[in-house]
Amino acid sequence: MGLHGKNLKRKGFMNMFFSGALMVVMLCFLVLTEEAADMRYKRGELEEMLQFDYRVEAYYLLLETGSLTLDGERGYGSFTEYFITDTYDEKRYIEITDCMDHILIAGFFEGSERVRYEVWR
């Protein structure tokens, strides 16, 4: 009988094998759930990005047609309704600035500038 056969017959070998298999299964579990959570987060982010883009565009059109006017030097676009407020959220905001000859609309998403529109007078 070879060494291999002896090893298989050794007491407790199969138990060790099954514990290893169980650990691999658990690892697979962990990886798959992590991946799923990641995907869910990414999906939400994609949705918010598109909605954000459309909203910045809306502010551009509103300011361009004169349906909305900017009082003062700087304002921030609201995300619930279409009006300009003084308060903004650090995470994502639409900054509307009155530069002498044009109005600058910049969308900041997760800390970096994402879109920019200019309305020339």
Partner 1 sequence: MKYGARSGRFMMEMMLYIVLSVFLMGAFTRLYSGIIVDYKENITFLKHTDYAYRAFEVLKVDFYTHTEAFALNGDELKIRKSDYITGNEILLKQRDQRLVYQFGTTIQVLCHDVEDVNMRILGEVLMIELVFSDVTYERSFKIGK
The residue ranges that bind partner 1 (CB under 8 A) are 25, 29, 32-33, 36, 39-40, 43, 46-47, 50-51, 54-55, 57-58, 61-62, 64-68, 82
We find the least distance from the C-beta atom of residue 67 to partner 1, in angstroms, to be 2
We find the least distance from the C-beta atom of residue 32 to partner 1, in angstroms, to be 6
DSSP secondary structure letters along 60-106: HHHHHHTSS---SSEEEE-SSSS-EES---SSEEEEEEEETTEEEEE
Nearer to partner 1, 55 or 108 (CB): 55
**H or E stretch at 112:** strand 112-120
We find the least distance from the C-beta atom of residue 58 to partner 1, in angstroms, to be 4
Nearer to partner 1, 54 or 120 (CB): 54
d(CA 39, CA 95): 30
